[in-house]
Amino acid sequence: MTWALATVKANSEPSVERALKKRGLPFHIFKYQTKIIRLRKVVTVLRPLYPRYVFVPFDRAWAACRIDNVLGLVCFGESVAAISTVLVESLVRSGTDDIIPVKDAAAVATPKYRAGDRIIAIVGMFVGHTGLVKRPLASGRVRCEFDYMGKRVISDMPPLELCLLQRRVAKRRKRRYKHAPQEAAA
């Protein structure tokens, strides 16, 4: 079964979840647990892993659009985008009741890139183009160099818009001796 993504209004995932359960439509709203401070107390809350998105079956996607607070479906051009079953099933298997175990959500959401790593852009203006990481920035973005239409273009990209192709291998330096090594006198 292939899946589609329905977009919902901000912070309306619980109401959409109730409506989908009431109509008997299968769906997934993946969540993670995080700790926040509320009224000077540390409280564990569930937050959506993909805010404003609900996974619905591809064949029933238009039925989900008739629910209040659902804005529409994610499309590529004029056709509804199909999400692979493998991706959704791996997310379902990784957690229980659509709650994904995440130690530190910020660390998972921002992969670490090092200077010299080969990357490919998966979203945005450079989608499909490969490039090199120049350096990570303090703002959390990554400075990348792409070959775009025959020219070198440097762009600061969010790390979620990139995918790692090849990690830079650190070369070992040869040791240089100031003086030739002395042999032991016999």
Fold of 3-106: Alpha-Beta Plaits (3.30.70)
Q: Where are the CATH 2.30.30.30 domain residues in the chain?
A: 110-166
CATH class of the 110-166 domain in this structure: mainly beta
Q: Mean pLDDT of all residues in the chain?
A: 84
Quick check: pTM over 0.85?
Answer: no
Q: Choose among 6, 49, 8: nearest CA to 30.
A: 49
Q: Where are the CATH 3.30.70.940 domain residues in the chain?
A: 3-106
For the chain, the three-class secondary structure string (H helix, E strand, C coil) is CCEEEEEECCCCHHHHHHHHHHHCCCCECCEEEEEEEECCEEEEEEEECCCCEEEEEHHHHHHHCCCCCEEEECEECCEECCECHHHHHHHHHHCECCECCCCCHHHHHCCCCCCCCEEEECCCCCCCCEEEEEEECCCCCEEEEEEECCEEEEEEECHHHEEEEECCCCCCCCCCCCCCCCCCCC
Q: Choose among 141, 135, 140: nearest CA to 114.
A: 135
Residue 39 has pLDDT above 60, yes or no: yes
- Over residues 162-186, mean pLDDT: 68
pLDDT in tens, 80-117: 988 888 888 888 888 888 888 876 544 444 457 888 89
